[in-house]
Amino acid sequence: MLVWLMLAAAAGCGSSLGSGPDSGAGGHGGSGGTSGPPSCAQAPRIDCATVSPPTPATLCTLGEGIAYACGLCGRDAGTSCGIDGALVHGANYTYIQIFNVDVWWISVYDQNGILVAQLEASVHGQAAGQPWACVAGPADFDASEAISLLPVVGEGELPGHCGADAGTSGASCSRPLGDDCSPSPLQSTANICTLDGGIGFACNPCGRDGGAQNCDFQSAMVRGAQYTYIQILNVDGAFIYVYDQNNKLIAKLDWSANAAGIGQPWSCAAGPVDFDLTEAKSLLPARSSELLCAR
């Protein structure tokens, strides 16, 4: 999901929003009537199925947001389509900013790479003294960091996550894996840091109470020459957990049929910055599986 952020056109209007590193020392936005960040108290909760960016996309994870921002105009459109993306890391959140004419869409992701909020700022709102608004997010979401960092001029850190290899063999991972042993963005308390843990989760991805009849996930295990992959398929996307030859989790990948429409079906949600997707792309999404689960 993306968050709507409008800036006033050109440099002079940017400063009147009072946000972003190029907008003066403000940080609370607005022109006269506003004194603080927008509240999400009256905003709806996040629903990834309702995202409506310039082109349809699923943006529930930071990896999906980066893939979308990297392929906004399609592979052959270059920079002529008038839509520009940016990536900005804050201390609390990571932001994907999308600019189109006089509109900025901003997706706010937490430290696990999960979409948590959508913000909006507009020239029209600015004229009314309310340039910023929370479109969706938790009632207690604090947008102070967002309006202190955004909007930005240029692409921020995005170019390092795209590059010539973004659509081919390489995928710059959104964040290091660290000691994250959860199946996030899927919601589960399972520990998947070892291949045995991943298999256990794949055999019951909806949890003990999910039941096979009520579970929309389809699981698979595929062994490659370099890695072993646990794949959880859900409608038009797949969450893929990558294990090395020591059966240790080293990366989390996302595959999206929607993002394939903009030439970026693959993204790396967590793992090495230079993770090589060549083998994964040759084997996945899987049509068959070695996964055997006890019934």
Query: What was the pLDDT predicted at 260?
Result: 66
CB count in 10 Å sphere of residue 120: 22
Q: Averaged over 80-101, what is the pLDDT? A: 80
pLDDT(15) > 80: no
CA gap 287, 276 in Å, rounded: 22
Q: Averaged over 66-73, what is the pLDDT? A: 78
pLDDT(224) > 50: yes
CA 232, 190, 275, 290 dihedral sign is: negative
Q: Which of 2-6, 218-222, 244-248, 286-290 has maximum average pLDDT?
A: 244-248
High-pLDDT (> 90) share of the chain, % = 17
Q: Which amino acid is at 88?
A: V
Q: Averaged over 208-230, what is the pLDDT? A: 78
Query: What was the pLDDT predicted at 195?
Result: 96
What are the C-alpha distances in Å from 188 to residues 138, 208, 238?
20, 11, 16
pLDDT(26) > 50: no
How confident is the model over 97-131, as pLDDT tens digits? 887 766 677 889 988 788 899 887 666 666 677 77
CB count in 10 Å sphere of residue 46: 21
Mean of pLDDT over the chain: 74
Q: Averaged over 187-196, what is the pLDDT? A: 92
Closest CA to 243 of 280, 217, 292: 280
Instruction: Give the confidence band of 248 by pLDDT, cuts at 50, 70, 90.
Output: very high
Query: What was the pLDDT predicted at 198?
Result: 94
Q: Averaged over 62-72, what is the pLDDT? A: 80
Q: Which of 74-78, 168-172, 229-233 has maximum average pLDDT?
A: 229-233
Q: Which of 1-10, 31-40, 64-73, 235-244 has maximum average pLDDT?
A: 235-244
Query: What was the pLDDT predicted at 34?
Result: 44
pLDDT(218) > 80: yes
pLDDT(197) > 90: yes
pLDDT(137) > 60: yes
pLDDT(295) > 60: no
Q: 170 versus 12: which is more confidently predicted?
A: 170
CA gap 201, 182 in Å, rounded: 10
Q: Averaged over 165-185, what is the pLDDT? A: 70
pLDDT(32) > 70: no
